[in-house]
Amino acid sequence: MFPACKYTLQARQCLCSLKVLQREHLPSLFCATRWSSSSSTTPRITSHYTVYPRDKDPRWEGVNMERFADEADVVIVGAGPAGLSAAIRLKQLAGEQGKELRVCVVEKASQIGAHTLSGACIEPSTLQELFPDWKERGAPLHTPVTEDKFGILTEKYRIPVPILPGLPMNNHGNYIVRLGHLVSWLGEQAEELGVELYPGYAAAEVLFHEDGSVKGIATNDVGISKDGSPKDTFERGMELHAKVTIFGEGCHGHLAKQLYKHFNLRQHCEPQTYAIGLKEVWVIDEKKWKPGRVEHTVGWPLDRHSYGGSFLYHLNEGEPLVALGFVVGLDYQNPYMNPFREFQRWKHHPTVLPTLEGGKRIAYGARALNEGGFQSLPKLTFPGGLLVGCSPGFMNVPKIKGTHSAMKSGMMAAETVFSKLTNENLQSETKGLCIPEYEENLKNSWVWKELYSVRNIRPSCHGLFGVYGGMVYTGIFYWILRGKEPWTLKHKGLDSAQLKPAKDCMPIEYPKPDGKISFDLLSSVALSGTNHEHDQPPHLTLKNDNIPVNNNLAIYDGPEQRFCPAGVYEYVPKETGDGMRLQINAQNCVHCKTCDIKDPSQNINWVVPEGGGGPAYNGL
């Protein structure tokens, strides 16, 4: 190929080794053409303007792209526990000190609480701080925990494990809540205090000043058709400018993803690791109902190397309701793993089935959650903004509680922002304010101490004995030594890099759903109430349309068709008959973010769809 006389010996050796490298080490991702994202044989999948910019698109010539802009003091992205706590605290401080503050919160769900999903067993300490009179105000904490059970499941049996005081799983003093209802209630309190809440409007873009600091956000455009062209109803989103923008998008937020890159916030921390949580709410037979009971299990159906487990909480809100679910760590290696089906088959375990027999399922949902803890905390502030809640990730993994720390981070953000905004002698280098005090205050607070003390529990599950090794580690180093050991264990790395090729793994045989206890995916998705305006570009965007078939399907047998809890990704035979293609059913998406996290090629980029779309959870 290369005439020997043309190159020196060294050059030839170089070229030979490069060819070897290309063949053996670089995935096909680099072999695909880089200048066109879809070849002639792969049908075009992605049409979103984040992949195909509109200023180069002839269909957008002459379309008015001006945006209406408005000024606020603080803009908060996301009306979850963290965002709303921040908004409420800001208004409380403003009221106490007689200052005027315009606080705007944008939220992609059509109503506050509709995209909230959590177990949830919460510590009321932070709520007590925010609203000491929460009981009189009618906060929906109706179910104090009365008993705590923990068990290790084998295929047929259950080994009970005692929950001693001091173990992270001990829930004395906590409440079982339907977090969606608590978030709705927080929304009502916020509105009463004068916070401007805008549900149904998603923050789609971060805006920057010329000096590089964050200027605010812009909401999503509407009226773009499925193929990316403008419709008659096209209207630009609106710009909301603020002195400080607080980002509380929850686990793996899409704007936070951009901010990490832009401001290099993850330079000194480990990559975040995640799990997917699937949840259902059931109305059960009254005789089986034990209000206040909290049950957790580990073990079957997962093996000791796959982190995960179940929860089953008995609510006390009138009807005999139970909230139950299953969590699977997303660092699993077998691409045939299907978290949804693991959840469905867990319900058939002899110690779980009796509770559900005769009952009726009334809700379903799924969401990714953080597992990285202390080691994965990024830098929290940047010029013009800061991160709160599960977005950076303050969840205490062994306790499986993140709401109290998310709310605390929101409150601390509000306090530091408020003191900066009301400081009359404020001198700022950048137009968007810098609030490094937020991170300093958090580091000195109980949130940091709590996360530090449990930092080694999750990584200790990566050893030879898997989850059981982790339990032993917890017993010794957490229960006895309170997390004071001088070392900090590392995580395994990016979740997306953990999959082994399909040919090296065994497919898993899952039982068929029986329609009474276990169900199929599509009827579950229908129960989530999810929907999106169908005529819009799919919001699951692919950087390269060829990669799913060439890489994900070829090497990993298409793991996205298994890990998506909503059936968005399907590999179907092409109409022309020669091979498969990826079909993206974007309307089914429940905004869990698992695909963005676990895609082995990191080719899927979840962007926010038109506001108002997504699941319609009611008290999940």
**Pick 362 or 505: Cβ nearer another protein:** 362
Per DSSP bridges, beta strands 175-176 and 121-122 are antiparallel
Q: Which is nearer to another protein, 303 or 535 (CB)?
A: 535
Tell the smallest beta-carbon distance from residue 146 to another protein (Å): 24
| Residue where the block lists tokens 């992949």 | 51
Catalytic: 28?
Answer: no
Structural contact between residues 337 and 270, judged by C-beta atoms closer than 8 angstroms: no
Please calculate the CA angle 377-380-383 and round it to the nearest 5 degrees.
155
Contact between residue 92 and residue 593 where contact means Cβ atoms under 8 Å apart: no
**Residue 611 beta carbon to another protein: minimum distance, rounded to whole angstroms:** 9
Three-state secondary-structure class, residue 158: strand
Which residue out of 251, 390, 434, 589 is catalytically annotated?
589
Who contacts 188 (Cβ-Cβ below 8 Å, separation ≥6)? Answer: none
Is 367 catalytic? The answer is yes
The answer to whether the beta carbons of residues 117 and 530 sit under 8 Å apart is: no
Which of the residues 46, 118, 460, 518 is marked catalytic?
118
Name the residues that contact another protein, by CB under 8 A. 68, 70, 110-111, 113-114, 180-181, 184, 198, 201, 219, 222-223, 231-233, 235, 237-238, 283, 319, 362, 526-527, 529-531, 616, 618-619
564 is catalytic: yes
Minimum Å distance from CB 608 to another protein? 14
Q: Which is nearer to another protein, 198 or 208 (CB)?
A: 198
Decide whether 319 or 504 has the Cβ nearer to another protein: 319
- Asked whether the beta carbons of 93 and 414 are under 8 A apart, the reply is yes
Of the residues 178, 564, 594, 601, only one is catalytic, namely 564
Catalytic residue among 178, 293, 367, 562: 367
Residue type for position 167? L
Q: Which residue has the tokens 């992609």?
A: 108
Rounded to an integer, what distance in angstroms lies between the CA atom of residue 348 and that of residue 367? 22
- Distance of CA 23 to CAs 17, 20, 26, 28, 239, Å? 10, 5, 7, 9, 48
Residue 592 a catalytic site member: yes
In the complex, minimum distance from the CB of residue 283 to another protein, in angstroms, rounded to a whole number = 8
Angstrom distance (rounded) from CA 527 to CA 512: 19
The token pair at 218 is 């812009």
Catalytic residue among 403, 530, 541, 594: 403
Tell me the three state secondary structure of residue 163.
Answer: coil
Active site annotation includes 361: no
Closer to another protein by CB, 202 or 412: give it.
202
Q: Which is nearer to another protein, 230 or 378 (CB)?
A: 230
User: Which of the following is catalytic: 293, 530, 592, 594?
Assistant: 592
Q: Please confirm, yes or no, whether 137 is among the known catalytic residues.
A: no
Tell the smallest beta-carbon distance from residue 72 to another protein (Å).
11
Look up residue 465 and give its two tokens.
């004995």
Residue 114 CB, shortest distance to another protein, in Å, is 6
Q: Which residues have a catalytic role annotated? A: 118, 367, 403, 564, 589, 592, 595
